[in-house]
Every structure is written in structure tokens, then in C-alpha cells.
Chains A and B, each alone.
Chain A
Amino acid sequence: MSIGPPSVIAITDCGSTTTKAILVERKGGVFRQTFRGEAPTTVEAPVEDVTVGVIAALRDLSARAGRRIVDDAGAIVRPASGGDGVDLYLSTSSAGGGLQMVVAGVVAKLSARSAQRAALGAGAIVADVVACDDDRTPYERIARLKRLRPDIVLLAGGTDGGAEIGVVEMAQLIAAADPKPRFGGQFTLPVVFAGNARVAAEVARVLKGKAELYAVANVRPSIEQERLEPARERIHDLFLDHVMQQAPGFSKLLAWTDAPVMPTPSAVGAILRLASEREKLDVLAVDIGGATTDVFSVVSGAFNRTVSANLGVSYSAAFVLAEAGVENVRRWLPYRMSGEDLRDAVMNKTIRPTTIPADVEDLMLEQALAREALRLSFAQHAEFATGLAGKRVDRSFDENLSSGRAEEGGLRTMAIDLLVGSGGVLAHAPRAAQTAAMLVDSFGPAGVTRIAKDSIFMLPHLGVLSQLDPQAAREVLENDCIVVLGTCVAPDGEVRPGKPCLEFSLERADGTSERGALSGGEIVAVPLAAGEEAELAVSPRRGLDVGAGASKSWRGRVRGGEVGLILDCRGRPFVFARDDDERIAAQRRWLGALGAFEGGG
């Protein structure tokens, strides 16, 4: 469907702390994001009505746009007429923690993994994955299920005609644990059964009276096949019909919108898939929040999403520290800080999550923590986004799996054409170079990779818009949403500190040029402005690969941005000096080279 001209669209995203509204208008035949507004999300006490925050965000948008979007009675003014009203109102939501699920299967790496992918693809936070072979006793699994308060449980297991006992065992565990749903004391927990159809009747008998069972097609009908869409669709429907209806104020919100409210991560996935298909790019995107980090990838047409539910820079800061370890955070600091002081600072941030860095060293610490949250999230994503276990996968991943370089799990960073960052610590960093530095340091892109940020986190808004009008969503994405910071060129392979690494030449459209050579351990930013493209030729040292194959020169066009062209010869993975003074000096050089901090910090 395309929306007829002229068109004015208001879109909100109800985040866990903030509800953000944008206005999208057709200007000169092209859709543009023109204004934005925001207000605190009001799902939790004392307000406990999400629409209050939505109206507040829309009123803020109205004030900035000079357009009356909400009338005095609190109703959205439709249609657009002159300087008033909107033609459409859409929304996404991750408020109240979003959609929280527990996934159960028979074999952790087979049915449970497929079920997890289905849940993540539906926009859920997967609180736990329980499987018959997950190294826990039945008692421990039951105890865990009892403690969790999921919105939906997804039960998979057994290929069609395959395992039966394990599936029923898992159903028995769910029945014995009798997990209570998060919202609504009188509400029966929905369980989606997406396993061996032969035991559907027995599963229904076991769960009778304990859960409301919905049977869909097997997510893993055979070892070689995965079929996620039926389960995803059912989860999405249940999310709208049950979870959202129970969450405070959501039934009102559902009545206001012109399309079903999407879980925020589903919407982000939708727009990224669209971008990838249109631009023929392999995309990696990350949204780092205070509590969770979502990673999305679209590589060779395959979409994957993971949610690292305990990795974030405020509410989850202490978890990041526990997971990464003090030394891994400290290694990014260009100044001395004791491990004890670092731990105290991070723990204080966790218990006062709304505070912000007020001095440069505090900012550097927060960004160091963000690097580790991003790195760990990416590692989890890469490990997850492999081909189906048990089958040789006929994709670009597979041949790269054996290379042993520049790869995390089954996802080789050489395959990534575009790396997009969003979330406050990335999008609102005081300097674009800090955002670029965090992304490059955390993900270690190899080859030639465009680095970008989502300017104000409007990916979810564009995702839900793309369900109605993909063209409108694409236009806003290209013109207003994605801010290209520059292009990173990094060789894959063993880099020797101080030894020649690569030579480059850059020819800009205005006729100016740059030439140079880098040694191992160096990183530079060559000026190349936003909107500019240039012809780049890179010749790596023998054995290094910059995208054309080992030892081969690469030539092509690269895009500029606020940071420019980043040439990164620090190696993949980075090697940090063991001596603290040397390590700190290197960090100062690297940050200074990118212009991330004055004098490198």
C-alpha cells in the first residue's frame, strides 16, 4: 500500500523509560522526518497507563511542530487538514519490559535454539531457554520456571515423527512449575506449542488447566529445516491480544493506532531487512540501552536478532562488569584507575541509573563499559547466528567458518557492509568520533565497512511505518535516520606492531587526494566529509586481507561522514600492551587519532 498525498504521520515508540514521537511529512514529493517530541513512559506506578505518556509525547511533538495533533479531550486529531491533525498514527512498544518469554525444547542446540530464534524474531526478551540436555536437573528447571513470570511460553521439541518423550517431559515440567504470567492475576498463561505434532494431544492433556495452549507448525520439522514464521506470527498475535491488552493502558493504545502495535525489536528488524534488501548490503545494527542490548543482522538475506537481556549501560552496568571482568573494562581507559574504584563507580551507576557522566574521565569510563556491553552482545549474537546445527549450511557464513580470523562464531565481520549503532550512549555521545570509536572497537569490523548511527533512534518508528508504506519508510531512513559517520577499512590477519601494514591512496571528487602508509598498531582518520564519496585504493601487506582476498589490493568508492575514512591497523583482534603505561599511551593515541577526545583524553 502507498499512502496518497499529502500525508502527515505521527509515530510513537513507547520505550521502557521514554516515549518518543516523530512526525513524518511528505515534503516536495518525498517523506521526511520533520519534528520529534518525547515524554516519560507511564506504564509503571503511579500512573500505570501508557497512553498518558503517549499523549504527553504527542503534545510535545505538537508544540515543536506548531501542529495540533491532540485535541483538548486527548484524542488524536485526524485527518490532517491545513496545519492540524495527522492522517495516520502508528506505534511500537517495549514498555513494561516488552514481551518476555520462556522457551523450552528438547535439545538445546536444535529445537530449543530454533524456538529461541522464533521468539527473538517476534520481538521477545527470552528470559530463559530450558532444554532436556541443559545441564540442569528437572528440579532446577522447575524452580527456575516457577521464579520467572513470562508473558508467553514457547514449547518446541521433536522433529515431525521424531522425539516424543522429551517433549512431554518438558510439558510436565511446565505444568509442575505452574508459572504465573506477568500481567493479570486471573490471566492463564499462553503456551505456544511448536513441536512434534504427534504429541500435541498429550501436551494438551498435561497442560490442561495450567495454561492456554496454542498449537502451531513445528519450528524444526526436520533436522535440516527450520520454519519459524507460524510460531512468530502466533506469538505476535498473542502479544497483541493478551499481553498488550493486559498491560496498563495498552488496550486503549491499540484502539488508537492505524496498524497493530509492533514490539520495538520487531519493528527495528523490519526496517533493517528492508534496507538490506534495497541496498543489497549486509547490515549489522545494535541498539544499546540502559538494561538490554539488541543486535540485529541481515547477512545474505538471513535475518537474526538477539537480545542480551543483562547487558546495558545503566540498569545492567554491574552485570556488564561481572560478565566482562574489571580488567576488560579498564583496558579501554586512557588513564589510571584502580580496579576497586572502577567497580565502585560502575555499581553506583547501576543503583543510580539516571545519572550522567559529568566529567571527561567519567564519560570515558561509561564508554569503556559500553564497549564491553557491545562486544559481549555481539559475541552472543554471532554465536547464535550460525547455520542450523547438524547441517552444512549453504551460505556465505559456512565457507568462512574455517578461516579462524575476523570472525565471531559463525558471523564473519568481513561480511558486514554497514554497521549501525543506536541507543543513548552511541547516538548522544558528545562527539561523532566517540560513537565511531565505540563501534569499531567493539565490533572490530574488517574489510571495508560503512559506520553509521541512528540519529534519534527512529528505527522502530520506521519499522512500523514500513508495514504500511515501505517507500515512505525508506525515504525517511535514507534522508533523516541514518547518519553516516564514515567508512572503516581494517585488514584482517595478523598485524605486527610497528611493521608496515598497508598503503592507501584516496581521490576525492573535488580533485584533492591523500596518500599514505600505516604500520601495525596505528589508526588514522582521513578527512572525508559527510555526503562526499571518494575513490580509495588500499594495498595491504602480504597475508593481510582488506576485502579482496589475502594480500590483494582493494579499490572502490567509499563514503565520508563526520569522522571520515578510518584506516585501522590495530589488528583483529586488538592486542593490548601488558604494561599499563604503554596501554594507556596507546589508547590516548588511538582516541586522539580519531578526534574522540581532546589530546586523546
Chain B
Amino acid sequence: MPSRAPFGFAVSHRVKVRRRRSVPGAGEIFVRVGDTVRADDVVAAIERPGDVHAINVAAQLGLPPGRVREALAVGVGDRIAAGAVIASHRALFGMWTTRVASPVAGTVEIVSPVTGQVVVRTDPTAIELTAYVGGEVVAASRGEGVEIEAEVALLQGALGLGGEAMGVLAIAGKGDGLLAAGDLGEGHRGAVVAACGRISLEAMRRARELGVAALIGGSARGADLVAMAGGELNLAATGDEEIGLAIVLSEGLGDRAMSAHAMGLLPLLAGKRVSVRGATQVRAGVIRPELVGPPVEGAALEAEGTAAEASVGSRARIVRGRLFGAVGAITALPPAPERIETGSSVLVFEILLDGGDVVRIPRQNIELAG
């Protein structure tokens, strides 16, 4: 009897995907359904509301809040420049004038006779959204955003940081060994650099100095990621870290190389323009970090899956414990729970590892190797 198992992180030579570019209320969409776009085409512009600054005019002028209006030189809705005087008050029989200037340019939004504050909102900023993948626009509206369908090569990771990036893929490092700072040079500026092994902290810092767009690797030490980010990470939802580049790790934390399947894809994309999303969300709509690029010539189309039926013969990778990273084929799905080393009784898979050993692994600790 088959059993569902997490699909694992996808590694695909050609798969049809849809990627949505969200456009909340205030924004402009530049494409229509049916348009063909490239990954770096701007498909929409979002208007991000300005920041709000509360100026305590009453306190600065030494007036009761209810009298602030008399002192104002501006009203609700007025546009003002940074440094513009918004209120003034003459004291000491007119001998002394105190002025309050706005620290920012923007629009007066609130004048409160209760708090004596004036709230100024800076101008909205326009943020351009690229297509991220090259393909066909299948949805384009203010409510839905822009959705693009494309056939791509796809490498998903376990953990990503730093948001989106694009660049030409270059492979660095020696085999599946450590990526060191010395493996990166001027030629990697603006590139998406992939290595099959662990990425060292020095390599991350060197990449940032050089202006590398993104680093893809098998793993990194958690302490190195924390050092790179300058503080503890919210692993449950990443992507907003301001670390100067995107990072995607195919296996996760520790000292692990990429799976053979993932390593096999990279040379096929070398020299091609790819997009990277260094965002991870482990729940409430799981998001996995990824690298997408043009589909591999001649590869058959696969289905993008999130979970699949594991059955005898399925390739599986162990993702916890002493055998983390080991890969093999499922040889049996015992129907009854079995007692494992911890003393818990759980459902297991029997797996013939590529190295020849036969092991029994809790089903929760397996991802299908794809």
C-alpha cells in the first residue's frame, strides 16, 4: 500500500510552474493575459504607502493641545517640504518665536486637538516587480496580481535567505567540498554562483563584497548564517534579511553536500540566466527557496508536486538523524507501527541504501528524492 511522503525538494530539468507576483491595492500592471514575458521584464509597479511621522507640536510649542490649531501654518491635506515650518508661536510678549519644522517631506494627514500632534505621511514609493520567470501571463489584475506560467528547470532548497535575485549561473568550488572565499573572484560580480558543498562564512562575505547576486550551495553552518545576518534568524519565515545577496541551501544546516540529482542539474544551467528566491516559509502556505532557469533541452516535462505516494521502488532521502542525507530505494512499507531506538512506535519505511545497507526509518523522516 502506498504512503504519502513529503515530495522533498524538487530538482527538475523541465517542469511547468506558476509564479504569482502580488499587486496589492495601489499598483499598476503593465501586462495582459496572454502576453509572453522574460524573467527580467517589469510586469507591475507597486505603490508602497509612505512612512508616518508624528510631530508633537503641542509639546514643542508649550501649548495645550487644544490651542495647536491656532499655531499651525498648515492644514490637513497640505503637501510640505522637509524643514518646512508647520507651526509657530510667539511667547514672552512677542519677543520670542518658537517654530516647529517637519523633519520629512510629505502630506499632513492628521491634526489632533486632543493630542496636539500633527501626523505627516511621506510620499509613496514605487517598487517595480519583475516577472521572475519567463513565460506566459495567465492572470493579470489588481486583486490577483500577475501570474506567470512557465516551463523551467527547478532546484528547490531547504533554506533560503535574502529575497530575490537574478543573474547568470556560474559554478565555483571544488566538487562537493567547501566553498571558500578564494573560490570567488571579480568574474562572479552580478552572477548567481553555485557550489555543491558547504558554503563558508568567508565565502558569503566575499560574495557580498564582490556584488554576487546569489549563492547556491549544499549547506552552511547555522552559526555562519547568523554571523552573516548580524543576528538570529526567523527561520520560520525568511526572505527579508538585508544581507546583500540571496542564499539558497539545498540540504539545510551542517556540512552536507547537495544531492547527486541537484549536482547534476547545475552544469546544464551554467552560463544561463537564472532567477533565485531566497525565501522560506515553513507553514501557513509553505514556501521553499529555489533557483529557476530555462528548461533543459530535450528533457521530458514533469509535474510540479508537493506530496506524492511513496511505494516500493521510490527513491527516498533520509532527512534526520545519523543517516541524514543518505539515499536509497524503498523496499517495504510495513503496515504496523514498529518500535524504534527511541522507544516510540511509529510507521517506518524499509530502505535499501545506495551503500548497500538496509535500514528502517520513520516515515516522517523521509523525503522522496525525486
Interface of A toward B, CB cutoff 8 Å: 16, 44-45, 96-97, 138-139, 142-143, 164-165, 168-169, 172-173, 175-178, 185, 199, 202, 206, 291, 315-316, 318-319, 322, 339-341, 343-360, 362-363, 428, 430-431
Contacts and interface: CB of A to CB of B under 8 A. Distances in A.
A97 B237 CA distance: 15
Contacts of B234: 318-319
Nearest to A343: B222
A354 B364 CA distance: 6
B66 to A, nearest CB: 11
Given A138-B54, A168-B112, A431-B343, A315 B282 contact: yes
B342 A315 contact: no
Given A172-B117, A357-B320, 15 more contacts: A139-B53, A142-B52, A169-B112, A176-B54, A176-B119, A318-B234, A341-B254, A344-B221, A345-B253, A347-B252, A348-B158, A348-B324, A352-B320, A356-B344, A431-B343
Nearest to B143: A185
B285 A139 contact: no
Contacts, number: 152
Instruction: Return the 10 tightest CB-CB contacts between A and B, nearest first.
Output: A430-B343, A322-B232, A344-B253, A358-B321, A138-B54, A355-B320, A168-B114, A343-B222, A176-B52, A350-B235
Contacts of B340: 358
Contacts of A143: 51
A415 B230 CA distance: 42
A249 to B, nearest CB: 16
A355 B365 contact: yes
Q: Which of A319, A347, A354 has the most CB of B within 10 A?
A: A347
B54 A173 contact: yes
A45 B306 CA distance: 11
Contact of B223 (A178, A319, A340): A340
Interface in B182-233: 221-223, 232-233
Contacts of A358: 320-322, 340-342, 361-362, 365
Interface string B43-86: 00000010111100000000001000000000000000000000
Given A44-B284, A356-B365, A359-B322, A165 B114 contact: yes
A168 B109 CA distance: 15
Interface in B293-347: 319-322, 324, 340-344, 346
15 contacts: A139-B54, A172-B115, A176-B119, A319-B236, A340-B223, A343-B222, A344-B253, A351-B252, A352-B158, A356-B362, A356-B365, A358-B322, A359-B342, A360-B342, A362-B320
Nearest to B158: A351
A348 B253 contact: yes
A168 to B, nearest CB: 4
A457 B298 CA distance: 53
Instruction: Tell me the dominant secondary structure on chain B's binding face.
Output: loop
A514 to B, nearest CB: 27
Nearest to A364: B342
Contacts of A169: 54, 112, 115, 117
B280 interface: yes
A176 B121 contact: yes
B159 A351 contact: yes
A185 B25 CA distance: 10
B244 interface: no
B321 A362 contact: yes
Contacts of A345: 253-254
Contacts of B232: 318-319, 322
B335 to A, nearest CB: 16
B6 interface: yes
Q: Which of B65, B110, B115, B324 has the most CB of A within 10 A?
A: B115
Nearest to B342: A363
A264 to B, nearest CB: 17
Contacts of A359: 321-322, 341-342
Contacts of A206: 110, 112
A247 to B, nearest CB: 12
A340 B221 contact: yes
A138 B117 CA distance: 11
Contacts of B119: 172, 176
Instruction: Tell me the dominant secondary structure on chain A's binding face.
Output: helix
A350 B51 contact: no
A356 to B, nearest CB: 5
Contacts of A355: 319-320, 362, 364-365
Given A344-B221, A356-B344, A362-B321, A172 B51 contact: no
Contact of A347 (B52, B65, B235, B320): B235
A182 to B, nearest CB: 10
Contact of B344 (A178, A346, A349, A430): A430
A127 to B, nearest CB: 13
A97 B284 contact: yes
Contacts of B322: 358-359
A165 B121 contact: no
Nearest to A185: B143
Contacts of B285: 44-45
Interface in B339-370: 340-344, 346, 361-362, 364-365
Contacts of B222: 340, 343-344, 346-347
Interface string B273-296: 000000010111100000000000
Contacts of A431: 343
Nearest to A143: B51
Given A356-B365, A359-B321, A165 B65 contact: yes
Contact of B6 (A165, A354, A430): A354
Nearest to B159: A351
Contacts of A178: 49
Contacts of A363: 342
A349 B365 CA distance: 11
B362 A318 contact: no
A168 B158 contact: no
Contact of B283 (A177, A315, A343): A315
A106 B53 CA distance: 19
Given A172-B112, A344-B253, A139 B223 contact: no
A21 B201 CA distance: 48
A16 to B, nearest CB: 8
Q: Which of B252, B320, B341 has the most CB of A within 10 A?
A: B320
B282 A351 contact: yes
Contact of A356 (B221, B283, B284, B364): B364
A318 B233 contact: yes
B115 A348 contact: no
A348 B121 contact: no
Nearest to A322: B232
Contacts of B159: 347, 351
A178 B119 CA distance: 13
B51 A139 contact: yes
B115 to A, nearest CB: 5
A206 B54 CA distance: 14
Contacts of A168: 112, 114-115
B364 A175 contact: no
A452 to B, nearest CB: 21
Q: Which of B6, B117, B143 has the most CB of A within 10 A?
A: B117
Contacts of B110: 172, 175-176, 206
Contacts of A316: 236
A168 B319 CA distance: 53
Contacts of A353: 282-283
Contacts of B158: 348, 351-352
A315 B236 contact: yes
Nearest to A323: B232
Nearest to A341: B254
Contacts of A291: 236, 283
